[in-house]
Amino acid sequence: MTEEERRFKGPVRGQSLFAIVFVVASLLLLSQLGSETRWAKGTQFFAQPRFWPAVAVGGMALFGLLHLRALPRKRLRRADLVEWRIWFFALEWVLWFLVYVMVVPVLGYLPATLIFVLLLAWRVGYRSPKMLWISAGFAVAVVVVFKTFLQVRIPGGAVYEYLPGALRSFLILNF
């Protein structure tokens, strides 16, 4: 390990890929500055609609490049590959989250949350009856606190429409 690597704040693995992607994205955004922003005639330089995007994207590219240059190791190694795999596997949780978001307007907040929490708890390894009961309790508590008491704006489920009148209204309002 070199002296620079020893003094580097945080892990060295994965840094170079992040820095490269950041710089490439910044340069791409910089190349689009002309087409994605407008220069207004008869307007002061600092009040131009293009001024702040130019400062921001220019700053991103400049500081990103300086950061890349200052990295203790720029070459990619096996440790970087392991790190990228961890980033990739995190996408599974994104998928869980997005499926949950899509299911709520269909099934309703309470049933969707109950199913989501139980399945996710099962997936991450909490399979004992005690933990599953705790998970179910947690799901109900979240819905009761946020939807029933705090009345946050979450729509009722489409399946509630098939229920009889009074129950339908009650569920749409509270769960």
Partner 1 sequence: MELLSSAVEILARWDVILALLVGSVGGVLIGAIPGVGPAVAIAILLPATFSMDPIVGLTVLLGIYGSSMYGGAIPAILINTPGTAVNALTTYDGFPMTARGEARRALSLAYSASFFGGVFSVVCLILFAPVLARIAPMFGSREIFLAALLGLILVVIAHRGQTLIAGALAFFGIFLNTVGLEPVKYSKRYTFDQSWLSSGVDLIVVVLGLFALSQAFYLLQGEDEKVRLTPLRGGLFQGLRELSRHPRVAGVSGAFGVMMGMIPGVGEFTAQFMSYTYAQRSSKRPEDFGHGSSEGLIAAETSNNAVPAAAMVPLLALGIPGEALTAMMLSVFYVHNVVPGPQLFQNDMPFVVALYLALLVLNVLVLIFLLSATGHLVKVVKIPNRFLGVGILTLSFVGVYSLRNSFTDCLIAACFGVFGFVLKRLSLPAVPIVLGMVLGGIMEVKLRAGMARVKTPLDFIDRPITMILFVMILGVLALHIRYVLIERRKLKEARWSARKRSTRFGMQMFRRRDYLSTERGKKVREKRSKYVPRSTGPRSPR
Dihedral sign (CA 67, 70, 72, 73): positive
Quote the CA–CA distance of 135 and 124 in Å, as a whole number.
12
CB 60 within 8 A of CB 28: no
Taking the least distance from each CB to partner 1, the nearer of 124 and 165 is 124
CB 152 within 8 A of CB 85: no
Q: Quote the least distance from Cβ 95 to partner 1, whole Å.
A: 9
Q: 8 to 67, contacts with partner 1 by CB under 8 A?
A: 8-11, 14-15, 18-19, 22, 26, 29, 32, 36-38, 40, 43-44, 46-47, 49-50, 52-53, 55-60, 63-64, 66-67
Binding mask 66-105 for partner 1 (x = CB under 8 A): xx--x------------x--xx-xxx-xx-xxx-xxx-xx
CB 139 within 8 A of CB 114: yes
Is residue 58 classed as helix, strand or coil in its secondary structure?
helix
Q: Quote the least distance from Cβ 165 to partner 1, whole Å.
A: 24
Q: Which helix (H) or strand (E) is 42 found in, with range?
A: none
Binder among 108, 110, 111, 116 for partner 1 (CB under 8 A): 116
Binder among 150, 161, 165, 166 for partner 1 (CB under 8 A): 150
